[in-house]
Amino acid sequence: MSPGTSAVVDAVAWFVIQVGTGYLVHRLPASTFEHDGPLWRARAFERGGRFYERWFRVRRWKHLLPEGGAVFAGGISKRRLPGRDQSSLLVYARETRRGETGHWLAMAFLPLFALWNPWWLVPYMAAYALVTNVPCIVAMRYNRLRIERICARARARAA
């Protein structure tokens, strides 16, 4: 395949993968994302999101990321909190799990690019996958961990 053709195929493939995984996770039942599973659970090093503040300065750039949560009918945007009450915060946390799953799933398709690209181009495809997905994952994890801290404080005050 010529380099030009390969570039077009790569661009179309990434577009289909990103939209396709977004649609797939959008169609999954909300209950799938209600609670932290192995992929979403907080890790000790994250320190409730403070790791992302300190090492990635996420608060400075997260507003620049595209928001695709409301692209499909019935989807929920993660650009702003839907409300400040406990149930709205839990909905927001659920939707960050959904979004994070879509981005992890999109990156899982990376090995397909080795089927038609020359070996030397595959690392560039990996770099593209990381650059377009990891910042979104970082922002969603950061936001969810902050929400979980707020909810934990509210539960502690109520108890």
How do residues 5-47 score in pLDDT, each as one tens digit? Answer: 888 999 999 999 999 999 999 999 999 999 999 999 999 999 9
Q: How long is the chain?
A: 159
CB 139 within 8 A of CB 131: no
Domain ranges of the chain: 3-158
3 compared with 120, residue with greater pLDDT: 120
**pLDDT tens-digit series, residues 77-125:** 888 888 888 899 999 999 999 999 999 999 999 999 999 999 999 999 9
Q: Is residue 69 predicted with pLDDT exceeding 90?
A: no
129 compared with 84, residue with greater pLDDT: 129
Residue 62 is predicted with a pLDDT of 94
The C-alpha angle 115, 110, 72, rounded to 5 degrees, equals 120
* 25-59 residues labelled b (16+ CB within 10 A) or e (exposed): bbeeeeeebeeeeeebeeeeeeeebebbeeebebe
CB 84 within 8 A of CB 135: no
Residue 84 is predicted with a pLDDT of 85
CB 33 within 8 A of CB 101: yes
First to last CA, the chain: 65
Residue 4 is predicted with a pLDDT of 82
